[in-house]
């Protein structure tokens, strides 16, 4: 692909102008309706999508929409979709069916779709065929054009005309559009977009395009601004953060980027995801070991414990190499917590392969693992391989899930009895009078407290492991 173009000014100003134009059209529509118009953005999928949604909401808010959670009530609904597994697509089709019937009663309701699903030609064909009521469809590469597209949607008076703008790829990164953060005290920060790995099961490289890194100075400036605005924790986001910097003119590694971010005064915690085991460098482990801010936590997707399956997945490491990396991490950072992703039922996987995955789970001792049943994605190499028997996959899945649960419960016990700092994130929905927060190592802790603690650090005595979280008692206050 051509060089990356960083368009901080021209495109940004064009889009900011569109935000002003939306304000004008919206004011007219609101006069007609005699009330404010609302918008709802519903996110499916990963942290990348969650961050994109904050940008989409930021734009809608700035343009004058009242932001609502409720997609059934809102005048404008945007689904930010995921397509990594087929059940994500099915959920969206299900929701769209419901919106379609609501729109029959209320034809002025506006509906839009963006995100990974819309990058698939077969999906767009299906939407054009069976979901004619959608007003706007756009993709992952031109998300920065959102103000322009919303404006075009608002002034389009042909109800049969669907606006569709999906790009195959891009070499453009547009900085500085408005953002509305979900949490005031923590934020995701994109450091790169796309993926070049082409794991044989994965659709991401086809829908998110080639790897593009943001410039270090843009990342640092964004974090400095966030910190000035009250953020104490950042999550650096990329499909494979360990290959950060490869397309930049400046010779810079992910580890070096971390060193620079560490220097930002006022920033307390640095997290990142996702790391690919094949690219995890000794330099990164050194930086983590010496750092006061980088969390002793690593999400390191293994996918399978069988070297034979890893080869078929095109993961470029073996079971042994993965364990070697894990041991290096544990040696350098003894308290580190480790989490992973596992796929069960990849084409050709046998009972023995699944047993190898279970044994690796025990050997590593994960604090948590996200276990998925393999989902066939059209266009990926694995889709044309011989698929596994469903019943056997379910059995293997249950066996691995049980191993994950038992292992995590045991592992998390090592923190029982310690006094550690918790950054409080929310009031607990399930236990009244309790709040939920995270340790630096990302483990969840529940303890007695109220909403006034959200965004603050509390010293907590960790009483008991409850499976994937800990129950504690606050020791630095009431």
Site of interaction with ligand 5AD (CB under 6 A): 84-85, 201-202, 301, 303, 341, 343, 372, 374-375, 377
* Segment contacting ligand SF4 by CB under 6 A, of 18-26, 43-51, 132-140, 193-201: 193-201
Among 40, 239, 340, 368, contact with ligand SF4 (rule: CB under 6 A): 239
What whole-number distance in Å separates Cα of residue 13 and Cα of residue 219? 20
Under rule CB under 6 A, residue 205 binds ligand SF4: yes
Reading the block at residue 465, the tokens are 């492991």
Q: How far is CA 25 from CA 20, 107, 108, 378, in A?
A: 9, 18, 15, 41
Q: Work out what residue 240 binds among ligand SF4, ligand 5AD, none; the CB cut-off runs from 5 to 8 Å by kind.
A: ligand SF4
What whole-number distance in Å separates Cα of residue 71 and Cα of residue 99? 8
Q: 170 or 239, CB closer to ligand SF4?
A: 239
CA–centroid distance for 408 within its chain: 23
Peptide bond into 288 cis (omega under 30): no
Q: 100 or 381, CB closer to ligand SF4?
A: 381
Q: Work out what residue 377 binds among ligand 5AD, ligand SF4, none; the CB cut-off runs from 5 to 8 Å by kind.
A: ligand 5AD
What whole-number distance in Å separates Cα of residue 420 and Cα of residue 437? 11
Place of tokens 């000014």: 9
What whole-number distance in Å separates Cα of residue 54 and Cα of residue 48? 10
Is 407:365 a contact under the CB 8 Å cutoff? Answer: yes
**Minimum CB distance to ligand SF4, residue 368 (Å):** 18
Q: Kindly state the number of chain residues that form the binding site for ligand SF4, as judged by CB under 6 A.
A: 10
* Segment contacting ligand SF4 by CB under 6 A, of 57-65, 113-121, 150-158, 200-208: 200-208
Q: Work out what residue 375 binds among ligand 5AD, ligand SF4, none; the CB cut-off runs from 5 to 8 Å by kind.
A: ligand 5AD
Is 10:176 a contact under the CB 8 Å cutoff? Answer: no
Beta-bridged to residue 66, according to DSSP, are: 38
Q: 315 or 474, CB closer to ligand 5AD?
A: 315
**Minimum CB distance to ligand SF4, residue 280 (Å):** 12
Q: How far apart, in Å, do the first and last CA atoms of the chain sit? A: 58
Under rule CB under 6 A, residue 170 binds ligand SF4: no
Q: Considering only CA atoms, which of 4, 82, 97 is closest in space to residue 48? A: 82
What whole-number distance in Å separates Cα of residue 437 and Cα of residue 164? 41
Q: Work out what residue 284 binds among ligand SF4, ligand 5AD, none; the CB cut-off runs from 5 to 8 Å by kind.
A: none
Among 4, 117, 123, 199, contact with ligand SF4 (rule: CB under 6 A): 199
Q: 199 or 302, CB closer to ligand SF4?
A: 199
Q: 309 or 439, CB closer to ligand SF4?
A: 309
Reading the block at residue 327, the tokens are 């041991």
What whole-number distance in Å separates Cα of residue 180 and Cα of residue 188? 12
Q: 310 or 354, CB closer to ligand SF4?
A: 310
Q: Work out what residue 85 binds among ligand 5AD, ligand SF4, none; the CB cut-off runs from 5 to 8 Å by kind.
A: ligand 5AD
Q: What's phi and psi for 88, nearest 5 deg?
A: -65, -45
What whole-number distance in Å separates Cα of residue 85 and Cα of residue 341? 13
Return the residue nearest ligand 5AD (CB atom): 341
Among 150, 202, 287, 288, contact with ligand SF4 (rule: CB under 6 A): 202
DSSP secondary structure code for residue 294 in this structure = B
Is 449:431 a contact under the CB 8 Å cutoff? Answer: no
Reading the block at residue 282, the tokens are 């000794």
Q: Work out what residue 19 binds among ligand SF4, ligand 5AD, none; the CB cut-off runs from 5 to 8 Å by kind.
A: none
Binding-site string for ligand SF4 from residue 268 to residue 307, where x marks contact by CB under 6 A and - marks none: --------x-------------------------------
Q: Work out what residue 195 binds among ligand SF4, ligand 5AD, none; the CB cut-off runs from 5 to 8 Å by kind.
A: ligand SF4
- Give the binding site for ligand SF4 (CB under 6 A): 195, 197-199, 202, 204-205, 239-240, 276
């Amino acid at each position: 692909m051509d060089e990356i173009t960083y368009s901080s000014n021209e495109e940004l100003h064009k889009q900011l102008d569109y935000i002003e134009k939306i304000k004008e059209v919206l004011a007219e529509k609101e006069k007609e309706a005699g009330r404010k118009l609302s918008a709802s953005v519903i996110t499916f999928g990963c942290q990348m999508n969650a961050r994109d949604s904050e940008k989409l909401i930021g734009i809608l808010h700035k343009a004058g929409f009242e932001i609502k959670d409720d997609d059934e009530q809102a005048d404008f609904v945007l689904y930010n979709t995921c397509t990594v597994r087929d059940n994500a697509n099915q959920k969206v089709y299900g929701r769209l069916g419901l919106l379609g019937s609501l729109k029959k009663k209320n034809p002025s309701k506006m509906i839009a779709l963006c995100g990974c699903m819309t990058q698939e030609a077969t999906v767009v064909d299906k939407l054009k065929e069976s979901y004619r009521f959608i007003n706007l469809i756009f993709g992952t590469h031109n998300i920065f054009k959102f103000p322009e597209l919303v404006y075009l949607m608002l002034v389009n008076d042909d109800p049969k005309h669907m606006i569709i703008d999906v790009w195959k790829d891009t070499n453009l990164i547009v900085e500085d559009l408005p953002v509305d953060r979900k949490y005031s005290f923590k934020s995701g920060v994109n450091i790169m977009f796309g993926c070049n790995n082409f794991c044989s099961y994965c659709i991401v490289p086809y829908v998110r395009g080639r790897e593009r890194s943001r410039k270090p100075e843009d990342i640092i400036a964004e974090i400095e601004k966030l910190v000035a605005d009250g953020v104490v924790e950042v999550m650096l986001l990329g499909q494979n953060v360990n290959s950060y910097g490869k397309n930049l003119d400046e010779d810079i590694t992910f580890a070096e980027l971390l060193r620079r971010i560490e220097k930002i005064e006022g920033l307390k915690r640095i997290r990142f995801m996702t790391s690919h085991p094949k690219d995890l460098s000794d330099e990164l482990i050194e930086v983590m070991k010496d750092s006061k801010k980088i969390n002793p936590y690593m999400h390191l997707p293994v996918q399978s414990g069988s070297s034979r399956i890893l080869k078929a997945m095109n993961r470029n490491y073996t079971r042994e190499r993965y364990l070697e990396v894990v041991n290096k991490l544990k040696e350098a950072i003894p308290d580190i917590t480790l989490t992973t992703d596992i796929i069960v039922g990849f084409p050709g996987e046998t009972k023995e392969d699944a047993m190898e995955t279970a044994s690796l789970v025990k050997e590593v001792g994960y604090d948590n693992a996200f276990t998925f049943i393999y989902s066939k994605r059209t266009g990926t190499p694995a889709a044309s391989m011989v698929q596994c028997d469903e019943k056997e996959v379910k059995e293997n899945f249950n066996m691995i899930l049980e191993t994950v649960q038992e292992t995590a419960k045991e592992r998390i016990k090592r923190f029982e009895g310690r006094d550690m700092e918790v950054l409080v994130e929310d009031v607990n929905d399930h236990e009244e009078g309790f709040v939920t927060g995270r340790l630096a190592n990302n483990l969840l802790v529940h303890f007695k407290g109220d909403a006034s603690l959200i965004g603050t650090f509390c010293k907590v005595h960790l009483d008991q492991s409850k499976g994937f979280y800990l129950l504690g008692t606050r020791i630095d206050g009431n």
